[in-house]
Structure 1
Amino acid sequence: MTGTIETDGSIGAIGGLRQKVAAVRRTGAAFFLVPTAQGEDGIDGLAEARKAAGDGLEIVPVATLEEALQALVERGGTPIPALRGESRVEG
């Protein structure tokens, strides 16, 4: 998933969507959750994301965190491991 998560649970638009789609394709993921706030048109729009994804990666637009969680439940699958190793966040 990509996007900003706002305090009201909405998912905000981001830049560099085509590059993020290319990176997700390399992981072998089956689907990629992206903000509906991207809109359909423009260089970072959903139409360009679908084109960059090709046939092997489903682009799933979501507007809220709740929709994102529902999409994950519906699709299931196995999470892709982090590419950069263990988290360094201390808690």
Structure 2
Amino acid sequence: MCVECGWSNVTVEDIAAAANVSVRTFRNYFSRKAEAITASHLERVLRIADELRVRPVTEHLWDSIVSAVQAQLAPGEGNDGGPPHD
């Protein structure tokens, strides 16, 4: 929504309506608009960090990073490349 309408043209009420939840429910999960928008990115970065931790120690760092990122962004089993679905 922010990409289409611009950051300042999207309200918490707009986001809640698009998610089909009340503003009160939105506020139970997020304190403000920025937190809601960045939440899925933070979760993805944390999953990438977890993936990096299990890569082989002998693997070159760049190869480990590429593999970890691709595992989170590429469509596949249980992963559509988008934000997590809770």
With the shorter chain as reference, the TM-score category is under 0.3
- Say which one has the larger Rg: 2
Between 1 and 2, higher relative CO (CA 8 Å, sep ≥ 6) is seen in: 1
Structure 2-normalised TM-score? 0.23
Give the TM-score, by structure 1 length. 0.22
